[in-house]
Amino acid sequence: MNLRGMAAIYRSEMARTRRTLLQSIVSPVLSTSLYFVVFGSAIGSRITEVAGISYGAFIVPGLIMLMLLTQSVSNASFGIFFPRFSGSIYELLSAPVSYMEIVMGYVGAAASKSILLGLIILGTAGLFVPLQIAHPFWMLLFLVLTAFTFSLLGFIIGIWAEGFDRLQLVPLLVITPLTFLGGTFYSIDMLPPFWQGVTLLNPVVYLVSGFRWSFYGVGDVSLAASLAVVVAFLAVSLAVVSWIFRSGYRLKP
């Protein structure tokens, strides 16, 4: 194991966050606060309760998930895309590090950022609405698993993308709609039965549901289903990454 190599990647990625602190931390916090003002206060004052929880508190887990998914994907994809783009990836590929070490360095850093961000947003939310966390351990588990899984997805996108436009495409066209349609701002039993069925095909529903369960003890789907979907997603992403490095896809001509 080249632990030092892995740590070097991790540290340099975290240093990049510090250099771009404003966009990495401040802007998601700001936009979450805006969500609270608009959805939580303005709309929430008309919708009193969902599943026995005040609307403002109800949307907290969904909002955190929204930020977690989009930030994990964008951080991790940019992290690996930039060295590819600038050519400095030659160093990574010629160094005595295994692909798992490279992945752990990049994905670990992106996930750390997202987790930190999730906790900051949680703290921010606490300023707006009273929070309760029924199952802190599960809350953290979901936070960490989701951050890693979607950072892995971002890493894959960063390797696949051939230009900045494509880099933006997936988060914009896939992640954001899936999250908004994933029960972030509503409970899926508020939908007509047909759309409930469709929604169950959306993996984000399971993430949000599991996460919300860890807060309030209620979810749209069972905890086991939520966990299974996260783990399955993680396994698929890992398989893709390992294929990428074995075949050299987009990395080695």
Partner 1 sequence: MPPAISVTDLSKTYASGFQALTGINLEVKAGEIFALLGPNGAGKTTLISVICGLVNPTSGVVLVDGHDNIRDYRAARARIGLVPQELTNEAFETVWNSVSFSRGLFGKAPDPAHIERVLRSLALWEKRNNRLITLSGGMKRRVLIAKALSHEPTILFLDEPTAGVDVELRREMWEVVRGLRESGVTIILTTHYIEEAEEMADRIGVIQRGEIILVENKQTLMQSLGRKQLTLELLEPLVSLPNALSDYPLTLSDDGQALVYRYDTQQEHTGITGMLEELRKAGIQFKDLHTEQSSLEDIFVNLVRENP
- Subset of 82-101 contacting partner 1 (CB under 8 A): 82-83, 86-88, 90-98
Neighbours of 1 (CB within 10 A): 9
Cα–Cα distance, 159 to 146 (Å, whole number): 20
**Residue 250 in the binding site for partner 1 (CB under 8 A):** no
- Neighbouring C-alpha atoms within 13 Å toward the C-beta of 141: 14
Closest CA to 204 of 191, 190, 185: 185
Neighbours of 176 (CB within 10 A): 15
Of 9 and 159, the one with the shorter C-beta distance to partner 1 is 9
- Subset of 120-149 contacting partner 1 (CB under 8 A): none
Cα–Cα distance, 4 to 97 (Å, whole number): 9
DSSP of 2-29: -HHHHHHHHHHHHHHHHHTHIIIIIHHH
Shortest CB 245 distance to partner 1, Å? 12
Shortest CB 90 distance to partner 1, Å? 5
**Residue 37 in the binding site for partner 1 (CB under 8 A):** no
- Subset of 3-32 contacting partner 1 (CB under 8 A): 3-5, 7-9, 11-12, 15-16, 19
Shortest CB 214 distance to partner 1, Å? 37
**Residue 178 in the binding site for partner 1 (CB under 8 A):** no
**Residue at token pair 């495409």:** 169
Of 48 and 94, the one with the shorter C-beta distance to partner 1 is 94
- Applying CB under 8 A, which residues contact partner 1? 2-5, 7-9, 11-12, 15-16, 19, 82-83, 86-88, 90-98, 248, 252-253
